[in-house]
Chain A
Amino acid sequence: MPSFRVDAPTLSLNIYDVIAKDSAAQVGFIGHTGLAKSTGAHPSARIPFLDMAPPLHGHDTSQHLQAHVVGSAELTDDEVQKIKTFIDRHAGEHSVFQQFSRLQIFQTAPQMYCIIPHATPLFEEDDGRYPRMRFSCAGFVLEAYRKARINLVNTNTLPKVEYAVIEIAYSSQIGLMNHTGISREDLGLEGDGPWPVLLCGYLFHALNRDASAIRHKPYIPSIEDRRFL
């Protein structure tokens, strides 16, 4: 099913359809993404969803998103169960952050969130053991679908983007992080860039293909795919 921009007050969704909202800085530039929490009709302005905010919001939490864009892989029941299991395994790792204030969450963001790579363990000890996985919001969606054997995007061929683009993609996070002493390096942005970042928009171009293509060939994004118009 083609991805589409939302122009109706009500949306009919399947569980784990991919939904997103535009960046506050630029209409059409996808700023945040997550998964629909349940099947059914919902007001477009308030879709129950699961996301890597940060922190990661699993089935036990109550989050809502104003949906601007929707993408669907028309998941089978088996794929849905695999994604559910993936979320149930990881959500508990982030439950500690549910106890924190919003600003404190941003202060500890590098312990749960990363921009590059899109998913990576937080190494506790030098020996490589780790207590939790970190994701970006797009990385959480990508890895959830990978667990269901659906590889939406080829992450080996991501376009490199400048910091100005990252500021648009993560405008609210970057703004708050400027007040909390978190550096670019803390989130994986080493050096001066440009960086191969998995941007949310790529997911919707990947899903904007027929169901067979979605499952058989990861999408190779172009720099323009950060927008979905």
Chain B
Amino acid sequence: MPPSGETRTRSTNAITTANATTRESQAFLSAFMKEQGLEATYKLLKQGRLSTDDEMMTVIDGVVQRSPTGRYNAALQTNQGPVVLQGAERTDRRSTDPQMISSRSSRSIDSTVDSIELTVDQILCQLTDASANPPASLICMVELTRFDPSQNQTLLPLLWQYILDHRDSNNCGELVAVASAIRKYIAIMPMDRMGELAVLLETGHRSQLPIDLEIEVAKMIYRNFEVYPPTAVDPHPELAQRFWERVQAYINPLVLLKDKHSAITSLAIEAIVAMRSPLAEQALQTAAKCPYRWFAELVNDDLEELQRKWSSKNPSAENWLRELQNNIFADVLSSKPGV
């Protein structure tokens, strides 16, 4: 969708119906929008303040798209059925009703439209301007946006600060945004700075990282080393140590099956191996000795896939991994059937 920083007060010149039973409602909406503009109509609908003859109408979902002609199309799901608006024109009409000013904290159609219509530069500017407390929705939008390498350099410290500032949050929405920031940060960060991620897993921090965030950290680190097999052994010893602490804590059979501990424990072991840490042998032995055979099979299968990915990139790393797996798993596990 093309960028637009201008006001989104619009009127409509055409309405088509998606459902015959909602024709009356749409006729009413058409007339109202011609008079008040699209933005005012949206906001009244969202607030449940727009009534047809029988009942209040409100929007459940909606999206607006700018067409190449400069007009707008909208698809709304209302409590009275779907409504599709086509060819809405921009107008200069603006509501002065204070209740129509959107709240930053609430997720609304307007914020949805803003997010989709923002350019890459505008997203970066908003993030910079928000400094310490950007809205979670903006962080989520950052994850979905592709930046060029120079923009990544601006983005990285902003994401890192957001992660550090909000990782202890009790707010679900903020934790989703932190997970989103972690994925984006690790996917674009320089490989030689991966060791800095150990800060997120340090045990002395005031509260432990939620398990969902631990999973994102471990998974993304593993994926980075999938793409870039370490050329040197043990490039990030502190990071490997933090994962080893988790493996030791979570491998307990009383813990492993609870919550998402099997996911983080298997990923932590695989991240240690993918970093070619000296702890890799111990970590794999821990998996092999686990009373749950399925857990050892899971780790072994994933590392066979890692071998395959490394084979074309770094044969030396692939050979190291094959020998390690043969030494530890050969007597314990059957090989994976061909798929």
**Interface residues in chain A, defined as those with a beta carbon under 8 Å from any beta carbon in chain B:** 77-79, 81-82, 84-85, 88-89, 92-93, 95-96, 98-104, 107-108, 111, 124-125, 127-132, 146-147, 149, 151, 176, 179-181, 215-216, 218
Contacts and interface: CB of A to CB of B under 8 A. Distances in A.
B297 A149 contact: yes
Contacts of B227: 127-129
B168 to A, nearest CB: 18
B298 interface: yes
Interface residues of B, number: 54
Contacts of A128: 227
Contacts of B107: 99, 101
B62 to A, nearest CB: 6
B11 interface: no
Contact of B188 (A84, A92, A104, A125): A125
B336 A103 contact: no
A99 B137 contact: yes
Interface of B: 1, 61-63, 65, 73, 75, 77, 84, 107, 109, 112, 116, 136-137, 140, 143-144, 146, 173, 176-177, 179-180, 183-184, 186-188, 212, 215-216, 219-220, 223-224, 227-228, 257, 260, 262-263, 266-267, 292-295, 297-298, 301, 336-337, 339
A131 B185 CA distance: 9
Contact of A82 (B137, B219, B297): B297
A217 to B, nearest CB: 10
A100 B144 CA distance: 12
Given A92-B179, A96-B180, 18 more contacts: A78-B297, A79-B294, A82-B294, A84-B262, A85-B262, A85-B298, A88-B215, A96-B176, A100-B140, A101-B61, A104-B63, A104-B116, A108-B144, A147-B301, A149-B297, A149-B336, A179-B75, A215-B337
Contacts of A147: 298, 301
Nearest to A181: B65
The 6 A-B pairs of least Cβ separation, nearest first, read A78-B294, A88-B263, A103-B63, A131-B183, A151-B339, A101-B61
